[in-house]
Amino acid sequence: MTVATVDNQSFTTGRPDADDVALAATGDRLAFERVYRAHVNRVFAICARMVADRALAEELTQDVFVRAWSKLSLYRGESAFTTWLHRLAVNVVLNARKSEGRNRTRFGSEPDEVDSLPHARASSWTPGMSLDLDAAIAGLPPGARQVFVLHDVEGYKHEEIADMLGITSGGSKAQLHRARLLLREALNR
Amino acid sequence: MTMHAMDCTTFDDQLADYLEGDLAPADRWQVEAHLATCVRCTALVRDLERIRADASELPELTPSADLWSGIARRIDAPVVPLVPRSTPNVTTRRRFERLRTAAIAAALVVVTASVTYTLTVARDSARSGESIAANTQRGPIPDTNVASSVRDEARRDTLPSSNVGPAPESVASTNPTPASGRATTQAVRNTPESVTYSREIDRLRTIFARTRSQLDPRTAAIIEANLKVIDDAIAQSEAALAQDPASRFLSDQLNSALDKKLELLRTAALLPNRT
């Protein structure tokens, strides 16, 4: 299989190719670009939903792929590449949120109160527009939003989320329930 | 809303666990019984399950622009080509380094040996000069028998308690030594250094004999005891040097012992003036 053939296949089908991952792990930039194009929308979606800011999500998406490029040699294929990459994306987002500057200025540092309702905080959502689920998610308080995205959107278990966020499994369940109730309220307006 | 075994408030409290499937069977049965008759709670559960289902099917999102160019810039670290070296290959280079190291080591050994030899000779010359200078500074040297050797003087010089006078005599005629020792003794005897030692010792012995009565008997006894120790050391060095005339170490030891004897005699000669 030539590189050109793999290139064309990946770009036309958009499907990840294990060969591309393997080639990218050896430093093949063209193969890595194909991996990027196959996964960028999914990675961007994780970032955008977790931070509720498209511009910041684009920066973080770039961070994810730059980090993936440097870490790809460590990928052993023990899990699906998508699982590995999505977990990497989550880690990049969470680490960025811990960053002092971003945490205060861009991720929002509002009190994560259970009784607060979704508000027009996300740049992707404007008051008065018909709320869809994505817009409602963007309006969730950060803690509830992250748990909801990780659990209901990305399919992580409470134990995994608790480990990622540094909270308890019960705390994750409570945040999830709170997020769902807030979303229902926002969607039923 | 009709009355049920479980009211809506209790239902709300258990809703999260119900949706997560964490309720015990009995509790779950009560919740489901409540749902079967409560429109409000049924609508709530339906909405929440719909949200969960919709969330799991949310579509991918597309960035507003292609992000690859930014990523490519960041991962495209400048590749510095390996410039072919004009130096020899690794094997040749290693061999050259070994030779260079060996040459440096050899040069170091030569330099160290030369410096050591030079310093040793210079020290010996300086010591000889010092003795001569010291002797010169102390005034005219008594006109003694310069032919007597230092060793002969040291061996004979046991400091008689009262009358000690310079009585140089040729030991060569009374104290035969082995051929090699004789040669060494003769060689030392004929050097200016030996003459200087002999004269100085004779002069100091005379002074000490004259002033001894002014000293405390215990002090004089200590000086004599120390001189005896030094004389023994001189005798041992001389005997060893007779067996190994070329030994610089033995020669140094003998000179050192003679120096000590001179120093002690000078101290003893000056004691009355100090006290």
Residues of chain B where predicted confidence (pLDDT) is lower than 50 = 1-4, 85, 87, 131-184, 274-275
Residue B160 lies in a domain: yes
Q: How far apart are CA B136 and CA B226, in angstroms?
A: 26
**B215 falls within a domain:** yes
Instruction: Give percent of chain A with pLDDT exceeding 90.
Output: 60
Angle between helices A81-98 and A54-71 (to 10 degrees): 120
User: What is the tally of structural domains in chain B?
Assistant: 2
Question: How near does any CA of chain B get to the CA of A109, in Å?
Answer: 25
CA B143-B145-B148 angle, to 5 degrees, is 145
Domain range enclosing B206: 130-274
Q: Are residues A121 and A102 in the same domain?
A: no
State the CATH number of the domain containing residue A6: 1.10.1740.10
Q: Collapsing DSSP states into helix, strand and coil, what is residue B247?
A: coil
Let me know if residue B162 belongs to a domain.
yes
For the entire predicted model, the pTM comes to: 0.51
**Alpha-carbon span B169 to B162, nearest angstrom:** 20
From the list A44, A158, A177, the residue facing B61 with the nearest CB is: A44
Distance, CA of A73 to chain centre: 22
> Does B158 or A177 have the greater pLDDT score?
A177
Q: Could you give the ipTM of this predicted complex?
A: 0.77
Q: How far apart are CA B11 and CA B1, in angstroms?
A: 13
What is the pLDDT at residue B132? 44
Domain boundary among A87, A109, A131: A109
A123 with A51, same domain: the answer is no
How far does B63 lie from chain A, in Å, by closest CA?
Answer: 6
Q: Per the domain annotation, does B107 fall within a domain?
A: no
Check: CB of residue B13 under 8 Å from CB of residue B41.
no
As a whole number of angstroms, the distance between CA B268 and CA B85 comes to 77
A7 against B194, higher pLDDT: B194
Mutate to test the interface with B, among A10, A37, A40, A123 (most CBs of B within 10 A): A40
B16, B31, B52 - which closes a domain? B52
Decide if B63 and A61 are in contact by the 8 Å CB cutoff: yes
Partners of residue B76 in chain A, C-beta under 8 Å: 29
- Asked if A177 reaches chain B (Cβ–Cβ under 8 Å), the answer is yes
**Is the CB of B60 less than 8 angstroms away from the CB of A48?**
no
The alpha-helical segments, DSSP class H, found in B21-147 are: 25-35, 39-56, 68-75, 90-137
Query: What is the SS3 string spanning B159-210?
Result: CCCCCCCCCCCCHHHCCCCCHHHHHHHHHHHCCHHHHHHHHHHHHHHHHHHH
pLDDT at B128: 55
Our count of domains for chain A comes to 2
